[in-house]
């Protein structure tokens, strides 16, 4: 997502778990955004483009982030996010699965992959293997910048149905999985906002990341000085509620915590450990 896998992708998968487990719960209140200082620099464009990574940013190649998800008092699931180098491209691999009592209510076993150019952050392709309840779906998305289009192919294995779509795209977009690393590469100046194009196989949406505050975050992986950001958009997962992500305030910008404030309740993802292999 989530739905966030990458945090937004994992949040999307975990949200499916929680919404199936219990509907109609009032979500817990999320953090409030502080007033933007008059001097804060706003990096927002009417036709947003992807910014190149800041010089100090260090891609966490070879590292796997392991997360746990909690909904109300229940352990809702677990997920991983890993970055690898494949030639000139970087390869993101994310997983999301239900655990414990929630897994008995609703099966989830998802895998997300993405290839992107580390110099520009332009996404080249993504794929998803989705197992949610009885649903079994394979999705492939390719970004054809030469012809200015994204090609979406999806096969529903259970129903033996397929879908093919093509949509126009700009010169460079990121995807739902790679976007976690893209946001980490931004300056994230306190009080600032950064807008960028994101595509998940359909129409491109503009996502604005608001940098809200610096906070300390305690996780099983350690205590971090963190930067809290809130992504917003008028479409997609972001339209269904509010999401906050806390990045470590250092050169790597590890996503140490995420929280989704949705109609079905509040889901919190917490970093459990970082595996370096």
Task: Give pLDDT tens digits along the chain (277 positions).
Answer: 333 444 444 455 555 545 554 444 444 456 766 654 444 444 443 468 999 999 999 999 999 999 998 877 677 789 999 999 999 999 999 999 988 777 888 888 999 999 999 999 999 999 999 998 899 999 999 999 999 999 999 999 999 999 999 999 999 999 999 999 999 999 999 999 999 999 999 999 999 999 999 999 999 999 999 999 999 988 766 666 789 999 999 999 999 999 988 776 788 999 999 999 7
Distance CA 229, CA 175 (A): 18
Distance CA 138, CA 154 (A): 6
Q: Specify the 3-state DSSP secondary structure of 103.
A: helix
Helical H segments across 176-216, by residue range: 179-185
Centre a 10 Å sphere on the Cβ of residue 116 and count the other Cβ atoms it contains.
Answer: 27
Report how far apart, in Å, the C-alpha atoms of 236 and of each of 8, 168, 204 are.
10, 17, 10
Contact of 168 with 147, CB cutoff 8 Å: no
Reported pTM:
0.85
Distance CA 180, CA 77 (A): 19
């Amino acid at each position: 997502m989530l739905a966030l896998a990458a945090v937004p992708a994992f949040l999307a998968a975990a949200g499916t778990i929680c919404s199936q487990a219990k509907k109609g719960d009032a979500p817990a209140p999320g953090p409030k955004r502080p007033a933007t200082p008059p001097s804060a620099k706003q990096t927002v464009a009417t036709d947003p483009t992807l910014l190149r990574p800041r010089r100090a940013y260090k891609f966490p190649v070879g590292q796997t982030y392991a997360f746990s998800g909690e909904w109300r008092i229940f352990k809702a699931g677990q997920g991983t996010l890993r970055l690898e180098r494949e030639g000139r491209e970087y390869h993101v691999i994310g997983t999301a699965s239900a655990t414990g009592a929630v897994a008995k209510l609703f099966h989830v076993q998802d895998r997300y992959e993405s290839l992107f150019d580390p110099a520009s952050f332009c996404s080249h392709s993504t794929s998803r293997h989705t197992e949610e309840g009885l649903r079994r779906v394979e999705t492939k998305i390719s970004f054809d910048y030469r012809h200015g289009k994204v090609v979406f192919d999806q096969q529903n294995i259970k129903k033996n149905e397929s879908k093919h779509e093509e949509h126009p795209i700009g010169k460079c977009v990121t995807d739902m999985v790679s976007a976690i690393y893209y946001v980490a590469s931004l300056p994230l100046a306190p009080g600032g906002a950064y807008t960028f194009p994101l595509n998940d196989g359909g129409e491109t949406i503009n996502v604005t990341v608001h940098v809200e505050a610096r906070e300390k975050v305690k996780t099983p992986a350690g205590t971090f000085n963190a930067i809290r950001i809130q992504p917003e958009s008028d479409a997609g997962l972001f339209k269904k509620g509010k999401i906050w992500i806390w990045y470590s305030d250092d050169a790597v910008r590890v996503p140490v915590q995420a929280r989704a404030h949705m109609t079905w309740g509040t889901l919190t993802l917490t970093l459990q450990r970082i595996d370096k292999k």
